[in-house]
Amino acid sequence: MKQLWRLLPVKLVVLSCFFITSANSQRPVSVRLVGGSKPNLGVVEVTMSTGAVGRICNLGFDNNGASVVCAMLGYRGVTGLKVDLPPYTVGNTNTVMAISGCPDFLEASTSTWNLETACRYVVSSFPPDCAGNGRDAAVICTGTQTTSTPGPTLPPDFATIAPIDCNNTITSLRLDPGPEEGLVLIQNGSLGGDNFGTICAAGFSAIEAATICRMLCRNETANAIGMSGKYLTTAASYPVMLSGLKCPAGATSTNDCKHNGWGAAPSYCTPNTAVSVRCSQISLTPPPIPAPFVVCHLYVANVFFTYTDVASASLLSLYGTYNETTCNFTKNENSTTVWATVPYIGCNSVQTTNATHVIYTSMLYRNVTAVSGVYVDVPYIIPVECAIPKLKEVTAALLPDARTAPPITGGDSYTSEVKLYRSYNARGFSSEIAPGDRLVVGSRIYARVRETSPLNVRLTVRNCWASDKSDGTGASYYVVRNKCATDANSVFRVDEKNIGINFAVMSFTQTVSTQAYIFCDVTICTPTDPDERCLQTCGTAVRRRRKRQLSTENEKESSQQPSRGPYILTAMTAMDVEASRAASIADATLLWLMTTALVAAVAWNTFSSVFIH
């Protein structure tokens, strides 16, 4: 033993090596007090790992040594004091170990609460002084006794199990199945080895649960709870190992706790009352809120759910009643995904708008199914939004061109086009100018800017300009700027989706055979959007107000827009078209507003249901 060379002269070092094997099998494993007048006072009797029982020869056994003995007996706080007692010559009187001191004892460290680790000792070759019982170590224990009454007949190692080392595999305690939760299985602190058993749940509180979790090196012990009635099948194959476990708050080991002794269990403690522990917090989060992936394309919302969110296509429906003749709602599924397609049109989708987007909101309903007769999920109403940006740029010209604006994230696009015509009348535009057609500079032609989607939206042209480059970056000439036609040109609304522009063909160089292109910035809005960008009127609100005082304000108005020519107030200006339309669509507008209000109310209720869930 390493202790040997400290205790004995250096010349015995070689001898110490000789002892290693046998010394290892001779360790002190348990103690008790004998021959005293009280349970906490007596001569120390020690049991060796070989089974030998006897006395400790005092070759420097001090209060540290006494404290080790008392700690092994279950005393805590201020513990052992070395005492001198008259020799006690009853029982196992032979010397089985000699202790020269216990310098490694630390009251705060349970791993030093045993003679083997705290003390320097030999188990043979005792000095002559150890003969007889005159030097037998004796102690009195003070402090708090934390295990059941120790006495002369205490079972060995009553209080201790192997100290926990969180850096190594913990072998004396485990949760089955673990790691967060399981049946507590603890090794018989006396027998060691494969002798595991359960802990009785009677009296087992959060403090004991936290102790177990600390011993398992879990640091989230604030959530530790002990439960009974779980993992009973596992429990049935183990004996009850501990009962009456009572720990002080903050205990880091069962060695700090009272209990009834290894294997000792009252009759009410059976495997059926075995305790299980959960060390980490139980998740209180509700089932996930369905979070679909939405792709809006060509006026249809494609909504994809994972199976976690929607377990089957049969659970998915369009919320509320709808007309199956007008609404082509479809749904489908494969092994990983459930999806639905909801057209914006005909399926009760609500059309709204904000400053930048036109938004279509559809409501999907996720139903629930009973599991074992109960519902563990809540039904959800899932609003699905497709947003279409109002602003975009379209290009066309002598080469008529239809473009699709790139969709925003989760958004759709709409299509608009610019085409050129030689004439326009109440029946519409005619004599389309084909790509490559030659145009006489200075002649007047028409551009038609058109929203081609089936959506119920209003198109507004913000800017249109001619350029000599196909990407619009070359020389430019505006025919419409900030919704106002320039020079002798004019801009007019044909209907909600068609804007006409009349302008003179221009050339950017003297060589008139070069190509020219027309570019337009357009805006789409809902028909009732009051946003001034949605009105195809130059100067918007100001002009609208002045319209009522047209005769007196006309001159002033013109002077405020010097870039505008006299054509601006022809019968086909936007303002006039809108004014003439106003009376005829008044009833329809009222109806539309009422309908919108009704739909909005339904939508509001729907949303509040979502929030309630």
* Positions of E strands within 142-230: 144-145, 173-177, 181-187, 196-199, 225-228
Closest approach of Cβ 187 to ligand NAG, in Å? 9
Paired sense of beta strands 120-122 and 95-101, if any:
antiparallel
Span of 65-73, 184-192, 268-276, 398-406 interacting with ligand NAG by CB under 6 A: 184-192
Span of 26-34, 75-83, 97-105, 354-362 interacting with ligand NAG by CB under 6 A: 354-362
Residue number, 271 or 500, with CB nearest to ligand NAG: 271
Residue number, 363 or 466, with CB nearest to ligand NAG: 363
Residue number, 269 or 398, with CB nearest to ligand NAG: 269
Closest approach of Cβ 408 to ligand NAG, in Å? 7
Beta bridge partners, 417, equal 402, 450
Q: Among 393, 405, 399, 392, which residue's Cα sits nearest to residue 420?
A: 399
**Contact with ligand NAG (CB under 6 A) among 190, 361, 490, 526:** 190
> Are the C-beta atoms of residues 570 and 488 closer than 8 Å to each other?
no
User: Would you count residue 595 as binding ligand NAG (CB under 6 A)?
Assistant: no
Q: Among 21, 16, 18, 14, which residue's Cα sits nearest to residue 3?
A: 16
Span of 26-34, 84-92, 140-148, 321-329 interacting with ligand NAG by CB under 6 A: 321-329
CA 417, CA 522: separation in Å to the nearest integer? 10
CA 57, CA 231: separation in Å to the nearest integer? 49
Residue 425 is which amino acid? N
- 78-101: b (≥16 Cβ within 10 Å) or e: ebbbbeebeebeeeebebbbbbbb
Residue number, 219 or 233, with CB nearest to ligand NAG: 219
Beta bridge partners, 248, equal none
CA 14, CA 295: separation in Å to the nearest integer? 83
Residue number, 113 or 262, with CB nearest to ligand NAG: 262
Span of 349-357, 489-497, 538-546, 566-574 interacting with ligand NAG by CB under 6 A: 349-357
Site for ligand NAG in 247-266 (CB under 6 A): 262-263
User: Would you count residue 30 as binding ligand NAG (CB under 6 A)?
Assistant: no
Question: Which residue is it, tokens 């929203």?
Answer: 451
The contact pattern for ligand NAG, residues 449-478, with x = CB under 6 A and - = no contact, is ------------------------------
The contact pattern for ligand NAG, residues 280-319, with x = CB under 6 A and - = no contact, is ------------------------x------------x--
Closest approach of Cβ 280 to ligand NAG, in Å? 7
User: Would you count residue 359 as binding ligand NAG (CB under 6 A)?
Assistant: yes
Helices and strands in the chain: count of H runs, count of E runs = 9, 34
3-state SS, residue 558: helix
CA 221, CA 601: separation in Å to the nearest integer? 50
CA 418, CA 465: separation in Å to the nearest integer? 12
The contact pattern for ligand NAG, residues 323-342, with x = CB under 6 A and - = no contact, is x-xx-x-x---xxxx-x-x-
CA 455, CA 445: separation in Å to the nearest integer? 28
CA 355, CA 525: separation in Å to the nearest integer? 9
3-state SS, residue 83: strand
Residue number, 93 or 223, with CB nearest to ligand NAG: 223
- Helix (H) / strand (E) element for 17: namely helix 13-25
**Contact with ligand NAG (CB under 6 A) among 129, 220, 437, 495:** 220
Closest approach of Cβ 310 to ligand NAG, in Å? 13
Site for ligand NAG in 138-157 (CB under 6 A): 155
- 154-170: b (≥16 Cβ within 10 Å) or e: bebbbbbbbbbeeeeee
As a residue count, the chain comes to 613
User: Would you count residue 109 as binding ligand NAG (CB under 6 A)?
Assistant: no
Closest approach of Cβ 122 to ligand NAG, in Å? 26
Q: Among 135, 577, 610, 189, which residue's Cα sits nearest to residue 361?
A: 610
Span of 47-55, 93-101, 176-184, 185-193 interacting with ligand NAG by CB under 6 A: 185-193
User: Would you count residue 278 as binding ligand NAG (CB under 6 A)?
Assistant: no
DSSP secondary structure string, 388-425?
Answer: EESEEEEEEESS-EEEEPPPPTTB---EEEEEEEEEEE
Span of 65-73, 183-191, 494-502, 581-589 interacting with ligand NAG by CB under 6 A: 183-191
Residue number, 103 or 263, with CB nearest to ligand NAG: 263
The contact pattern for ligand NAG, residues 372-411, with x = CB under 6 A and - = no contact, is -------------x-x------------------------
Paired sense of beta strands 240-242 and 293-297, if any:
unpaired
Q: Quick count: other Cβ atoms within 10 Å of Cβ 222? A: 11
Closest approach of Cβ 320 to ligand NAG, in Å? 9
Q: Among 346, 319, 531, which residue's Cα sits nearest to residue 456?
A: 346
Residue number, 341 or 515, with CB nearest to ligand NAG: 341
CA 574, CA 151: separation in Å to the nearest integer? 108
Q: For ligand NAG, which residue has the nearest CB?
A: 263
Residue number, 50 or 367, with CB nearest to ligand NAG: 367
Closest approach of Cβ 323 to ligand NAG, in Å? 4
- With CB under 6 A as the rule, give the number of residues binding ligand NAG: 36
Span of 28-36, 356-364, 433-441, 474-482 interacting with ligand NAG by CB under 6 A: 356-364
- Residues near ligand NAG (CB under 6 A) are 155, 165, 167, 188, 190-191, 195, 197, 219-220, 239, 241, 262-263, 304, 317, 323, 325-326, 328, 330, 334-337, 339, 341, 354-357, 359, 365, 367, 385, 387
